[in-house]
Structure 1
Amino acid sequence: MDLTLNHCPDACPLKVALVGECMIEMRGEPGTAIAQTFGGDTLNTAVYLARLNPRGAVAVDYMTAVGSDAFSVAMRRSWLEEGIGDAHVRVLEDALPGLYFIQTDLHGERRFLYWRGEAAARRMFEGPEAEAMLDALADYDYVYLSGISLAILLPQGRQRLVQALHHARRTGTRVVFDNNYRPHLWSNPETARQAYRDVLHLTDLALVTWEDDALLFGYRDAEALFSAYAEAGIREVALKRGAASCLIQCPTGRLEVPAQTVAHVVDTTAAGDSFSAAYLACRLRGGDPEQAARWGHRLAAQVVQYRGALIPKAAMPNMGASSLPSVVQA
């Protein structure tokens, strides 16, 4: 199944919903001044996806739950400033956003400390009030979620999300899944494996970090991973391997696309999220998988040279979009 969709009148942009959790991001060293912003894997992807697609051609929405506190209000404002819609954001008056703290070593590798157990996003699909959000998934051309999106949800909410994705896919919605596996967010590995399998059987495009799937499923090598994804019916898989080349399995065959060399890595936060955003952005704009991987590497190489998940807009690299076909609209 090709990711691009058939054309319709100009007033009809592609609609993409990203499901997940945005948190309060803090970085620095204990006992010193702390920088505060917002981030989270799917939110990072949403921001970069919105930046890489022309306004009016692709509509990017974020789907989550937040509180009514000042941080929640500020984070929603920041999404709107990035061109991300928040029409399907639940406000839970008795909850707050999660929080994480980034520490990086001399090589730019990051360590996260989390406070998220009672975060509003965990309850986004709980109760009858969630029905409208779940039904809305079928209104989108694409729904993007990650392993973290699954992990943070309470069991009933996770089950309701999978059921809603089943319905949405029957009506033509396509599912994009980033495997981001974080063991500490799951009660046990088998629960995680089952949740992943439930979503993988609905997935059209998988954006996979090798270390995460090797840890969760025990794959010996890329061939074993690709075989498992083919058995699940996934026709396009982009395998991210950090600073190494990206491997792609798609209907036209197997591809290997080298990464870009970075002389000085400052912070690897959101490297994978930005790769995923650029890959999807390129595919939505008519690029082929090889072009999409080159976009992914280019953006990730820029992102790791800045602190935090989101680089300044002025630092966004030139992706060479003029060489792509016109944006394909639903």
Structure 2
Amino acid sequence: MEVAILGECMVELSQQPDGHYKMGFGGDTLNTAIYLSRSGGRCDYFTAIGDDLYSAQMKAEWQKEGVGVNNVITRAGANSGLYIIENDDHGERHFHYWRDTAPARELLTIAPDIFTILMDYPLLFLTGITLSIYSDADRETLFAFLKRYRLNGGRVVFDNNYRPRNWHSQADAIHAYQSMMENTDIALISLEDEIALYGEHQVEACMERWISKGVCELVVKNGEQGCTAYHQQQYVFVPLPNVVKPLDTTAAGDSFNGAYLAARMQGKPLEGCITDAQHCAGVVIMHKGAIIDKGIPLQPGDLA
């Protein structure tokens, strides 16, 4: 089983302990794709990049990671987006973006056949950041496709990653998220983003909002407080196996998603999927940058 992942990847500059910056690449959906692949899953990435040197290097690195790139569109004369990560004393990250003219924003317009191709995938993963990069018209086109996709047997996986600066207003974001909820089968969401968007601090109320829209599988990620999940009309709480002080939380949720989906594709039970995801995220947050060195084991039983 392969997962189609829809989103944007950018050039990343991450602050190092000595104050210098290391160049890499990242973006929530691409991070998920890589950690899914490293966890034994298979996925194809759907995005658009520029024809600049850095874009070519990014695509080559994705291939080395085992991420499918046959559906990556190259836009002539364009440059991919750029972001800088700075970390405070608590390991929390602060982002600065240069992405307004990135070709990924136009993917649904410049590659209209993408929807026909996506129909062949059993799972489609996207995030709130994916929604935010598209125009209002392209988002409505996407929602209409998701309805057809689900009627055709496909299942939609959504992470609620919310970045206020990516939206014209909070009201616009809430409107888009409401439409997305109605077209989601599996939601892997963070309470932090629910608080930022809705002001909702209670896990139970947050879960009810998603379940009431028809989401049949839900995981609420709540940092050190562990995860609360809903599946097959059952609720389960899974605490963190270890609580650590993070060095960099950049891809905590993204790596969780990748490991969760890989475990799910391998047929593991819900709690096993969450435990694998927690282990993976726990390793990633102890290293700088979104994509850690490939040789670092992501699970307790893995060999370096």
Taking structure 2 as the reference length, what is the TM-score of the superposition?
0.94
Whether the aligned pair in 1 keeps the contact of 2:49 and 2:55 (CA below 8 Å) is: yes
Percent sequence identity over aligned pairs: 39
Whether the aligned pair in 2 keeps the contact of 1:243 and 1:260 (CA below 8 Å) is: no
Equivalent residue, structure 2, for 1:83: 66
From 256, 278, 289, the counterpart of 1:275:
256
Whether the aligned pair in 2 keeps the contact of 1:176 and 1:204 (CA below 8 Å) is: yes
Confirm or deny that 1:253 pairs with 2:240.
no
Aligned-residue offset at 1:217: 2.4
Aligned-residue offset at 1:30: 12
Query: Could you tell me how far apart the structure 2 residues matched to 1:299 and 1:256 are?
Result: 18
Aligned-residue offset at 1:31: 11
Query: Could you tell me how far apart the structure 2 residues matched to 1:320 and 1:250 are?
Result: 27
Deviates more, 1:221-230 or 1:261-270: 261-270
Equivalent residue, structure 2, for 1:95: 78
Gapped regions of structure 2 (runs ≥ 5):
none
Pick closer, same or farther for the CA change 1:151–1:305 going to 2, 3 Å: same
Pick closer, same or farther for the CA change 1:319–1:135 going to 2, 3 Å: farther
Query: Could you tell me how far apart the structure 2 residues matched to 1:265 and 1:215 are?
Result: 21
Whether the aligned pair in 2 keeps the contact of 1:142 and 1:174 (CA below 8 Å) is: yes
Equivalent residue, structure 2, for 1:224: 205
Taking structure 1 as the reference length, what is the TM-score of the superposition?
0.87
Whether the aligned pair in 1 keeps the contact of 2:16 and 2:288 (CA below 8 Å) is: no
Pick closer, same or farther for the CA change 1:319–1:63 going to 2, 3 Å: farther
Equivalent residue, structure 2, for 1:59: 42
Amino acid at match of 2:12: E
Query: Could you tell me how far apart the structure 1 residues matched to 2:297 and 2:52 are?
Result: 31
Amino acid at match of 2:198: F
Whether the aligned pair in 2 keeps the contact of 1:64 and 1:88 (CA below 8 Å) is: yes
Q: Deviations over 1:84-114 (max 9, x none)?
A: 1111122111321111111112221111111
Q: Secondary structure at the match of 2:267?
A: coil
Aligned-residue offset at 1:219: 2.5
Aligned-residue offset at 1:252: 4.7
Pick closer, same or farther for the CA change 1:138–1:224 going to 2, 3 Å: same
Confirm or deny that 1:123 pairs with 2:106.
yes
Amino acid at match of 1:165: L
From 28, 36, 40, the counterpart of 2:23:
36
Query: Could you tell me how far apart the structure 2 residues matched to 1:289 and 1:22 are?
Result: 29
Confirm or deny that 1:47 pairs with 2:34.
yes
5 Å matches for 1:195-214? 195-214=176-195
Whether the aligned pair in 1 keeps the contact of 2:44 and 2:67 (CA below 8 Å) is: yes
Query: Could you tell me how far apart the structure 2 residues matched to 1:279 and 1:31 are?
Result: 34
Q: Deviations over 1:185-209 (max 9, x none)?
A: 0001111111111121111110011
Gapped regions of structure 1 (runs ≥ 5):
1-13, 322-330
Equivalent residue, structure 1, for 2:11: 24
From 138, 150, 168, the counterpart of 2:149:
168
Query: Could you tell me how far apart the structure 2 residues matched to 1:216 and 1:190 are?
Result: 9
Equivalent residue, structure 2, for 1:114: 97
Query: Could you tell me how far apart the structure 2 residues matched to 1:214 and 1:265 are?
Result: 21
Query: Could you tell me how far apart the structure 1 residues matched to 2:77 and 2:143 are?
Result: 26
Q: Deviations over 1:236-256 (max 9, x none)?
A: 110001122111111151111
Amino acid at match of 1:35: K
Pick closer, same or farther for the CA change 1:263–1:74 going to 2, 3 Å: same
Amino acid at match of 2:287: Y
Whether the aligned pair in 1 keeps the contact of 2:276 and 2:299 (CA below 8 Å) is: no
Amino acid at match of 2:150: R
Alignment length (residue pairs): 302
